[in-house]
Amino acid sequence: MQTVTLKVKLLSPNKGKLEKMVRMLETYRKACTWFLEQAETLNTTSRAKLNRETYHKACELFD
């Protein structure tokens, strides 16, 4: 797998966008943790198997 690094300038977000970004980041963190737990439960490192076994539940849990 190749890694690519991008450097971009970001504008400072206004209050509304900042709050949305914080919520999105929290949801992303929770989803990553949940998927890791599911992968451990299923004893798999296969993204295809993880997707097949968890997709519908993840859609219910995470917006």
pLDDT the model gives residue 50: 96
* Whole-angstrom distance, CA of residue 33 vs CA of residue 39: 10
pLDDT the model gives residue 33: 97
Residue with tokens 């968890």: 54
pLDDT the model gives residue 10: 85
- The four Cα atoms 39, 43, 49, 54 give a dihedral, to 10 degrees, of -40
Is pLDDT at 63 greater than 90 in this prediction?
no
> Would you say the pTM of this structure is higher than 0.85?
no
pLDDT tens digits, one per residue of 6-53: 999 988 989 999 999 999 999 999 999 999 999 999 999 999 999 999
* Whole-angstrom distance, CA of residue 63 vs CA of residue 58: 9
Is pLDDT at 1 greater than 90 in this prediction?
no
